[in-house]
Structure 1
Amino acid sequence: MAAVAEGSPAAAPEVSAAAAAAAAAAKEAEYQTGVQKLVDLLSKLNPAAKEFFPSSAVASSPSKKGLSADAPVFDYYFVGGGNGGGKDAGAGADQQRRRRNGYNNQGRRRMNERARDAEREDSIRRTVYVSDIDHTVTEERLADIFATCGQIVDCRICGDPHSVLRFAFIEFADEEGARAAFNLGGTMFGFYPVRVLPSKTAIFPVNPKFLPRTEDEKEMVIRTVYCTNIDKKVTQLDVKNFFEELCGEVSCLKLLGDNVHSTRIAFVEFVHAECAITALNCSGMVLGTLPVRVSPSKTPVKPRLNRSASN
């Protein structure tokens, strides 16, 4: 077969295809070289360097590092700081700050709760439960008797004063006093021997702001009784009439209640201390549809802006 002539038309397509392939290879090599240079350049950049700031940081402090609000800003963000650059990175940082603050607040709350629980447990270990208390025994008398065991922090008698079912909680300054108090179990106080057991609860403290501070307020406390288990249908005027008919003139009365508890409480201040003592005998009497419980008050009636019985 005769060879195709070098200048023949059949050789032209082969030459053009080879030239195109060579050009494409050259462009690919040039592209790869450019990509490699870009990779080398970017690998030398430090996203955590001081000269890089997220756009949100530049907007909030345009003068920092000499940058103005109009200066171009790289959209790089600190390593591990968000889901990307720019505004997204700033939003991620805000979320992290809020999450971190939330964790800190939860941690503080948990620490406070643990501290309160530990304090309550310590108070329970220092408290004894006394039952079968005779109605003739007062809180002052009971505290004087148990003071022989150790320093007393608080003493509360609860229950109907006419019944032997009265009981008390006595908190000591230390556990040694509480342990010594167990030795008084079986002792005759009045007409009945009392029982002394470890307490399962702590005495709820009285707010110091409400305790009497002056001699005048102490005298008010002597004339005041604390009433519980009051029927919600009973009005303040009903409570006033109830105690005035049975005990004497009321000088100030405060009826309290809310939507959570099924009954109400009241502080009743009388004109004379003898009336308050008589009012203690009203415990167990029915006011409305419920028997009220009356005990000595540890605080004066608040507020003291109006001394009339209608307030």
Structure 2
Amino acid sequence: MAYGTPRTKDEILPYYTDIRRGRPPTPELLEELTARYDAIGGLSPLKQLTEAQRDALQRELDAIEPGQYHVTLGLKHATPFIEEAVAEVAAAGFRRIVGLVLAPHYSSYSIGQYIGRVREAAAPHGIEVKGIDSWATEPAFVDFLAADMRARLASMPENTKVLFTAHSLPQRIIDGGDPYPTELRATAEAVAAKAGLTRWSQWSIAWQSAGRTPEPWIGPDILEVISSFGAQRTTDEPIDGVLVSACGFVADHLEVLYDLDIEASRHAEGLGLAFARTACVNDDSAVMAALARRVAAA
């Protein structure tokens, strides 16, 4: 399962409306979102990348046990919706579903909702559902991020700070005891150790892409953190570069290609800071194989 994305310009409005729980966006908000898509080439590549991840997972499961698994895709905010995927599985006669969300960190607000929708849709069909809640410290995932981090740090200024980021969530979710920040920190600590960041001062955590709602979202926001790095350039412990590891995301999409590669990059460079980002997993074969093993063991 994954978040979903518009496949055409005409789908931006219904997609945005679904995210807003049935409330259409104002013309200004719709225009702003469309402009962001235009800035990254017209549309997000997330559809193609998610389908590539699905196909890679199918290949890896076939290698484990040929003919025993059928991988189908269900999306949260676009077609095929999660409920449509469950209906397809039921029509094909399957009696068990293993739900895998293409996001490594558990939150009741994200992965919990995905798995909950599967259970609700599967219940009338008597289908058993097993959810994979988290793969925050999956070794193949950690190895992928750490290897790319080491390579990119080699071409960055000596005083470069690593920022691990994930999508912000409403503060009320965290106040209720949600483990999401702890999950992100577990990934950050594992990747930092693997990449050879031996000092706590070499890295920190920031949040990005907070929603446009009146309620507070968890921080600090990445742009605020980058501003603090810029202010530190003239101190005795200057920071000259920022390397972002968007470890909360596993595929290139709007929040990566615009919020980081355009917005955060411009902000950093405007402050005289070098800026770079580690690669997203996309359909990396080692990570897909590791996820297939988790599915097979579920």
Q: TM-score, normalised by structure 2?
A: 0.21
Higher relative contact order, structure no. (Cα contacts within 8 Å, ≥ 6 residues apart): 2
| Structure with greater proportional strand content | 1
Higher helix share: 2
Structure with bigger gyration radius:
1
Q: TM-score, normalised by structure 1?
A: 0.21
